[in-house]
Amino acid sequence: MMKTLVLAGFLALAVVPPHAAATEGKETYDLLFRNGTLDAIDPTMSLVYRRDVTNMIRPDAAKRDTGGIALSVMPSDATMVQLRFRTDGKHRALGQFPVSVGNPMIMYFYETVVRDMAESAGGSPFYIRNRVKEALTQPTAFEEGEAVVDGKNVPTVTVRMKPFEDDPNRDRMQGFGDLEMRVTMSEEVPGWYLSLVAETAPPNRDDTVYRSAVMFEGLEAAE
């Protein structure tokens, strides 16, 4: 499969927030779940992402969930897109979604974080999902910055959320109480999402219990 566009510069992503601004809850949700983000995508192309997972509690799950993700328009129905997970030369279907709802990677991102936390730290996935959903609709600050993509600077906006920061049960969450979720978006990136990261501590620290990073890699010809 030949890639026609590779955002190699993304590996050197440098977000430079010149200032931060606040959003209302609805504005936060509308920014994260933006409509029309797939309208300009050529149906003969796939959006390609890479998911890398670190999980000190469940290293087996981290290995299971690390791999590539392809988003493409379904050949039989142009109103639907499909997500496929790819690892070791094998493909696994992740779901089908209406094009009209925008890029489903945001839903995949938060649902996998909910599942991973429930598997690793225990607790009710319904409780965890509700806390995450609340964070997605709360007023928050967002950072405007820049990222180097394919050798050029593009404007970005990053939303940060800490769904368990004030949770009364955070001390029993085996490190997940410190979870931060960050979504970086750009008009210059096909599909809107540049990166979707959830982590319990900054990378390269010994106390990073969990980290899930979904990074946009580029476009390739659809299968």
At residue 25, the pLDDT reads 66
Cβ 100 vs Cβ 79: under 8 Å: yes
Q: Is the pLDDT of residue 15 over 70?
A: no
**Does a structural domain hold residue 4?**
no
Structurally, the chain folds into a number of domains equal to 1
Supply the pLDDT for residue 202. Answer: 63
Report yes or no on 6 lying in a domain: no
On whether residue 13 sits in a domain, the answer given is: no
Name the residue range of residue 167's domain: 19-221
2, part of any domain: no
For the residues 174-180, what does the mean pLDDT come to?
A: 93
Residue 119 has pLDDT above 60, yes or no: yes
In the chain the first and final C-alpha atoms are separated, in Å, by: 8
- 113 Cβ contact list (under 8 Å, min separation 6): 132, 179, 181, 198, 212
Is 10 within a domain? no
CB neighbour burial string for 41-56, b if at least 16 within 10 angstroms, e if fewer:
beeebbbbbebebbbb
Average pLDDT, the chain: 86
Would 210 be classed as within a structural domain?
yes
12 found inside a domain: no
